[in-house]
Chains A and B, each alone.
Chain A
Amino acid sequence: MQDNVTSALLDPSHSSVSTQDKSSTGGHTSSTGPQPSKLSSITPVPAKSRNPNSGANFHRMRRIIAEDPEWSLTIVPLLTELCIQHIIKNFQRNPILKQLLPEHQQKVLNHLSPDLPLAVTANLIDDENYWLRCCMQRWPVCHVAEHGGSWKRMFFERHLENLLKHFIPGTTDPAVILDLLPLCRNYVRRVHVDQFLPPVRLLAQPQTGDQSDSGSEGEMEEPALDHYQLGDLVAGLSHLEELDLVYGVKDCGMNFEWNLFLFTYHDCHSLAATIKACHTLKIFKLTQSKVNDEKARIIIRSLLDHPVLEELDLSHNLIGDRGARGAAKLLNHSRLRVLNLANNQVHGPGAQSLAHALAHNTNLVSLNLRLNCIKDEGGQALAHALQTNKCLTTLHLGGNELSEPTATLLSQVLAINTTLTSINLSCNHIGLDGGKQLLEGMSDNKTLLEFDLRLSDVAQESEYLIGQALYANREAARQRALNPSHFMSTITASGPENSGIK
């Protein structure tokens, strides 16, 4: 795999050498692997070509060109070039970079090997191109945009992620990660780990024991089932902003055991302490980790009055009403802007407490309650809350068994509210009448841009008309965005037109 990548990487450099005869340096330093042989093959060439140059006979020279396929016009490389070559060769032992002139630095950086130990490069090299090469070498697919457009950051983040992913408590040496800490502490802003390996047990046990046994063993061994404790790592990362964790095992295949997906109380407590201590954290995601009410409350309690936290994602867990109540409390005790509780077990009371918190909240922008079971009582409470809320823009209530009463209230909200831009009511039982009422509400709304009513038993006619209204709203919003100076005039001008379209 790696070979392939390197060869793929090498290929263009070869071609570039062949196309650009003058710059032989590209050929020299294209890769460190085959360098000795190449250098040896190239260095004699100028020696040969020196003779025709001294002879200064074009005819002869041309003839020699024809004869010698290795012949090149390049002259003896400059001393600086040679020095740079040397520096590059001995970079690992004697890293000299900052002392060089900028153009020489660039040359050195362009030809450094991505395999150099991180201890040397991490705090020395800031050049994006070098880290680009490092990344491209290690991973075939790189989304640098996900890492703030910085290749170096991406490299360290993914490197750390890899280490964490394959960390086996009790087996792997914790120093592996902690050694990396001083190198990456200034570059890592986001930790995204989608698997935590449990400690390895005796091989014999899982093979012999049947399900009930393993379950009992799991309970017995629970203290031993704790995953890697992030506390030290997170405390060391001074710029950490995002923490995205999944306590689970990927690609377990036929080795599946319930124990592999166990987010223990010890894990929970240590995680809570970790995030409480981390005052730079802006985004915290803990998904698909079987977080139940108790654990959710432990985590949320640690997040109360967090100075900068803006996004909390606890989707795909087992959070019920008590957890939702905790989240509601958090809403008014933090600066939370995005709350995602999708695919949990929040019922009516939980949604009501969330609605109560939402009624006078001025921070929350997005609320996702997809695939819960808040039913009409929760839906109505949320709709009431939205009548007073002036901040929320996105609301996802898909798959919540809502029906007509909620739609009635929501239609009133639509007529009043001017901040909501996106509502999702898909997979509910809004019904035909509910759809009509929503359509009525939409007719008075000028700000909503998205309104998802798929698979919610709404008549196609009203869905279509709502779509038309949304389209008009989007056009108006676009006009507003295009020329904000003519904001008022466009509104007045396009107002009647839009109504005409409807």
Chain B
Amino acid sequence: MNPPGSLEGLEPNVDEHLSTQVLEPSVNSDNPQERIQARRLRIAARLEARRREALGEHLDGKKESEEDQSKSYKQKEESRLKLAKLLLCGTELVTNIQVAIDIREIHRRVEEDLKRQRIEKLEDEVKTSQDKFVKITSKWEEGKQKRIPQELWEMLNTQQLHCAGLLEDKNKLISELQQELKTKDDQYVKDLKKQSDDICLLLERMEEQVKNVMKTFREELYHIEKAFEMERQELLASNRKKWERALQAHNAKELEYLINRMKKVEDYEKQLNKQRIWDCEEYNTIKIKLEQDVQILEQHLQQRKAVYQLNQEKLEYNLQVLKKRDEESTVIKSQQKRKINRLQDTLNNLRSKYAKQIKQLQEENQSLTLEYKRLMTQFKELQKAVRHFALIDDEKFREIWLMNEEEAKDLIARAFDVDRIIHTHHLGLPWTAPDFWFLKNVGPISQQPQKSTTQIVEEMLLRTEEEEAEEAASESESYLDLPKQISEKTAKRILMLLCDESVRRGRAAAEGLTGVFCCRGLCRASALGIESEDDLYKLVSFFLQYRAHHLSSSLQSKPCSQASVEEASVEETSMESELELAERTEMEGEKEASLVEGEKGEEEETPPSPWVIHPNDVLKILKAFVKGLRKPRDSQAPLRVQKSVRSNSKDSEYWRALTTVIPPSRLNLWDALYTALEKYHLVLTQRAKLLLENSSLEQQNTELQALLQQYLTSKVGIRAFQGGVAGGGGGDRGQELAVGNKESPPHQRRCDVKNQQWHLETITGQRSRSCLKSPPG
């Protein structure tokens, strides 16, 4: 069997183990053991030392005791180790049995595989036997059909044989199994026995172990006690020995000391005697020497005394000198003190002066500041006056300008009239009135000329409207004191509100109005709000102001709201129809901004805090704003105009232009015309004279004719008369001539007139011809 073998195999192993460790240290294990022992002791010693150190004890003092202790400690350690080993080995010895049984159990379990094999075998067997059985039973059926007895017998025989075989097989199996069972039984019995043996062994060992342990514990205790006892004995013995040794040594030393002392006493006595003698001699010599010294010293003393005397005198003299100096110094000191006092006085004086001065200066300063203030007010007044005068001056300037302009324009009108008359009447040419810009100008020239040409044209077209609008825009100024001082935020905010509200406002306006402006109201509203920055600022400040006077103004604003809506719509229509209006307002806004900046210095109002304006108020405010925009303000307008910076550059040009309203070419024409007319005048006067002459001649003629008639009538006179007319042709000629020429001179004159007429016709044309015709008519 395996298990007992293994157990037996184990035991020597254990024994060996034991022997190697505890019972009898062999050659191999002896050295390491001792080495370990030594090392352990060393460790213990070190630990001890460390502990000592930790406890702060003196190592030196305890060293001996430590050595003494070490023996018992050694014994203790030894026995502890021995006991530990014993316990360990003992438990190992005892548990060895358990381990052996364990391993036996494992082997048994391995053997249990046989069981499985057996079961398989049995199953196989069952299967084969079943087959056989089936075969046999099938043959029974066969047998029943057999009729021939021999065959039946044969078959029965074979059946019997088969059955016997089957039975034999089964029996064999059974016997095998029984055999196995028996062996197993045996094995079981053996196992039981073995186990009981093991248990006995275990008990035995345990008992043995207990006994051993008890014994060894007792032994070790005994050993330890013995060790302690021995140690004590040794300690006692060694201490006693030490004590005795110390005593002996002490005695010996005592004796030695005694002898030494005696010797020393004798020596000292001898030495004393010697010393005495020597001292006596020395004393004498020293005495002599000292006496000599005394004499020398006395001499020295005399000398010293003399020196002393001398020094005393010197010192007295010095003292005197010093005293004098002291006096002097006191005098000087008093002087200095006085001086100090004086200086102190002066200092005080100066201080008081200084304080006074300060006060004075302060007063002065105050008076000066007052003066300054006064001057400032004066200056302001002056400025006001200046402004006032400037206004007046401007007014005067304007008046004068207007007057002059009027005069000039009259003159120009007259010139133009003259020109027109000349052209139409004299020259028979069509006259066109020259159109110059300056002709339309009324009042002093402003910045208008800077505008673009298109704007100028538009302005000329819409002159009247513009003037009105200008005024209207300028009116807004009164509301807008400080557009730029309002913070961006507030502006933005109000703008936002406005943007929101513009829609509504537009609608409200649309509702108030006829449906014409309905769709355009929105964009217009935005245009009004945003188009110009200044307008915006105006609006903002207007808002703020409006807020401030909300309660008071709300009452007033209500009744006129309806009217303001209409007005606003009117303005919007105008703006809608004329885009330039917005531009204009913008421009004016710029202008006003500059103006306002000028004013700002005086009208410094604190910027109102950004109040939250309720959207519902916006509409009202805007209405008020628009209404305010439309409000006429005559008093403010001139103020604004006066304040514009005038440029004189254009004035001279303007006036010069006025002078050159009739161009030089026309003047030349006029001159030429003048000379021609002069000539014509001359001709005409001559002709008038001639006409007079003619009329007088005709009269004479008629008189003469009457005379002739009379003469003829009187027949005598006819001849005479004919002769007299022929003679009278030369004025003072005879009547004969006059009668002779009676027919011929008018013909001649007619020819002359005809010549003259041709001349005039060449100069004056048709009209003059008609004029010439008219006198005969």
Contacts and interface: CB of A to CB of B under 8 A. Distances in A.
Interface of A: 343, 370-371, 373, 398-399, 401, 426-427, 452, 454-455, 460, 464, 474-475, 479, 483, 486, 489-490, 493-494, 497, 500-501
Contacts of B429: none
A497 B105 CA distance: 42
Contacts of A427: 99, 102-103, 106
A371 B43 CA distance: 42
A370 B109 CA distance: 14
Q: Which of A427, A474, A489 has the most CB of B within 10 A?
A: A427
Given A497-B39, A500-B39, A489 B103 contact: no
A255 B611 CA distance: 114
B47 interface: yes
Interface in B30-55: 36, 39-40, 42-43, 46-47, 50-51, 54
B557 interface: no
B6 interface: yes
A399 B46 contact: no
B106 A489 contact: no
A398 B99 contact: yes
A454 B99 contact: yes
Contacts of B469: none
B522 to A, nearest CB: 77
B96 interface: yes
A501 B37 CA distance: 10
Contacts of A493: 43, 46-47, 50
Given A427-B99, A454-B96, A497-B43, 4 more contacts: A398-B102, A464-B20, A486-B51, A490-B47
6 contacts: A370-B102, A426-B102, A460-B13, A483-B51, A497-B39, A497-B43
B494 interface: no
A455 B47 CA distance: 39
Nearest to A470: B88
Contacts of B13: 460
A129 B46 CA distance: 50
Interface in B1-48: 6, 10, 13, 20, 36, 39-40, 42-43, 46-47
B99 A494 contact: no
Interface of B: 6, 10, 13, 20, 36, 39-40, 42-43, 46-47, 50-51, 54, 84, 92, 96, 99-100, 102-103, 105-106, 109
Contact of B106 (A371, A460, A494): A371
A260 to B, nearest CB: 17
B43 A455 contact: no
Contacts of A454: 10, 92, 96, 99
Contacts of A489: 50
A486 B96 CA distance: 37
A464 B16 CA distance: 11
Given A455-B10, A493-B47, A501 B106 contact: no
A455 B39 contact: no
Contacts of B46: 493
B36 A455 contact: no
B100 A501 contact: no
B105 A371 contact: yes
B106 A399 contact: yes
Contact of B39 (A343, A371, A501): A501
Contacts of A479: 47
Given A399-B106, A427-B106, A455 B51 contact: no
A483 B50 CA distance: 12
Given A454-B10, A486-B50, A494 B102 contact: no
A455 B104 CA distance: 11
A500 B40 CA distance: 11
A399 B105 CA distance: 9
A501 B50 contact: no
A401 B106 contact: yes
A341 to B, nearest CB: 15
Contacts of B50: 486, 489, 493
Contacts of A373: 109
A211 B671 CA distance: 178
Nearest to B36: A501
4 residue pairs, one from A and one from B, having the closest CB atoms: A427-B103, A399-B102, A427-B102, A426-B99
Contacts of B109: 373
A399 B84 CA distance: 27
Contacts of A490: 47
A454 B101 CA distance: 12
B582 to A, nearest CB: 86
B514 to A, nearest CB: 92
B47 A371 contact: no
A475 to B, nearest CB: 8
Contacts of A464: 20
A494 B6 contact: no
Contacts of B51: 483, 486
A497 B84 CA distance: 20
Nearest to B110: A401
A345 to B, nearest CB: 9
Contact of A494 (B10, B43, B100): B43
Contact of A455 (B42, B54, B100, B105): B100
A475 B43 CA distance: 11
B56 to A, nearest CB: 15
A157 B105 CA distance: 34
A474 B102 CA distance: 27
Contacts of A455: 6, 10, 99-100, 103
Contacts of B99: 398, 426-427, 452, 454-455
A254 B109 CA distance: 26
Contacts of B39: 497, 500-501
A68 B39 CA distance: 74
A93 B46 CA distance: 71
Contacts of B36: 501
